[in-house]
Amino acid sequence: MKGFFYSLLFSFQFFSCSETFQPKERGYPRFDLPKPKYFLYDQGHPFLFEISDQAIAYNDSSRLAEPHWVNIKYPALNAEVQLTYKDLGNNLQILNEYIEDSRTLINKHNVKAYGIEETKMKTAQGQEAFVFSLTGQVPTQFQFYTTDSSKNFLRGALYFKTATSNDSLAPAIKYISQDMLHLLNTLKWKNGE
């Protein structure tokens, strides 16, 4: 029996592969990022803007959603931009609360963020907007808010539905960030502001 075992073991060694194991090189996701074409999104909300033809916009249907919350999904990139709209009702105190809430949500990422870059910009429509670029392994890499200071407040945040590291997602983050800047530059309030 021992002899049979040894001859079987010898046979396995003799006929087994002689190729040595080589670990695979680390890979990064490939993104095909076509040049976007933009179309007008006007779906019965107090705002309108242009979005990319690579995205699908739909009303937020989550349990906590409010009437004018919109999600912009990028199926090919497994990403989503969540837009939350608030009616200010000419109340400066409410405006300050929404701005503070936005900044609090951004600052919660300080634990994992390598950096948070804030940019104040003037949109093509003459509106003021604050844009935040976050680096590091954070759940949202790009956020913004804009307001007319009297009636309308809009906040946006980009999320990827993947465990891929943000360094690997950099091309997709940049691509969608450019779309969000286009959204801001084409944003118009319907109530005359």
Domain membership flag for residue 6: no
Beta strands in the chain (DSSP E): 38-41, 47-52, 56-59, 70-74, 79-87, 113-122, 128-136, 140-147, 152-160, 188-189
Number of domains, the chain = 1
Domain membership flag for residue 10: no
Domain membership flag for residue 9: no
Nearest alpha-carbon partner for 70 in 58, 62, 53: 58
Domain membership flag for residue 31: no
Domain membership flag for residue 72: yes
* CATH (domain of 116): 3.40.1000.10
158 vs 156: CA distance, rounded Å: 7
Domain membership flag for residue 175: yes
Per-residue pLDDT of the chain (193 residues; tens, 9 = 90+): 666 555 655 555 555 555 565 655 555 555 668 899 999 999 999 999 999 999 999 999 999 999 999 999 999 999 999 999 999 999 999 999 999 999 998 888 777 778 889 999 999 988 999 999 988 888 888 999 999 999 999 999 999 886 656 667 888 889 999 999 999 999 999 986 4
Domain membership flag for residue 119: yes
Domain membership flag for residue 102: yes
95 vs 83: CA distance, rounded Å: 16
Range of the domain at 72: 37-189
11 vs 125: CA distance, rounded Å: 78
Nearest alpha-carbon partner for 100 in 153, 152, 173, 142: 153
- What's the one-letter identity of residue 146? T
190 vs 176: CA distance, rounded Å: 25
